[in-house]
Amino acid sequence: MDRISALRNVEDALAAFEDGELSLSDLEGQVRGILRTYATEFDGDLRPYRASGDERAAGLVVLAASPAEARERVADLLDDDAVDVSVDRVD
């Protein structure tokens, strides 16, 4: 799914919510699904990786070409080069 498709799908979900066709929890579920699909379906070298270990990094998802690059991106996000994290590819 490309970015434009993801945005259109989110807009459709918001419109359904505004029209009373979706509850807030249904809207959240749809948007979460759209974003998860967008974040995990990439052409090219980038893949999503979920961080674990350090409490600040737990659950962060970054896009990277390798686990080493993913750890670097997490460290950059946390502004801490010494952060100790593990990363697992999200499928």
Closest CA to 83 of 59, 61, 52: 52
Q: What's the pLDDT at 28?
A: 96
User: For the chain, which residues make up each domain, given as ranges?
Assistant: 3-40, 47-89
Look over the chain and give the mean of its residue pLDDT values, rounded to a whole number.
91
pLDDT in tens, 7-43: 999 999 999 999 999 999 999 999 999 988 887 776 6
Q: Is the dihedral of CA 53, 59, 63, 65 positive or negative?
A: positive
Q: What's the pLDDT at 2?
A: 84
Q: Is the dihedral of CA 25, 47, 41, 76 positive or negative?
A: positive
Which residues lie closer than 8 Å to 22 by C-beta, 6 or more apart? 13, 16, 30
At 44, is the pLDDT very low, low, confident or very high (cuts 50, 70, 90)?
A: confident
Q: What's the pLDDT at 70?
A: 95
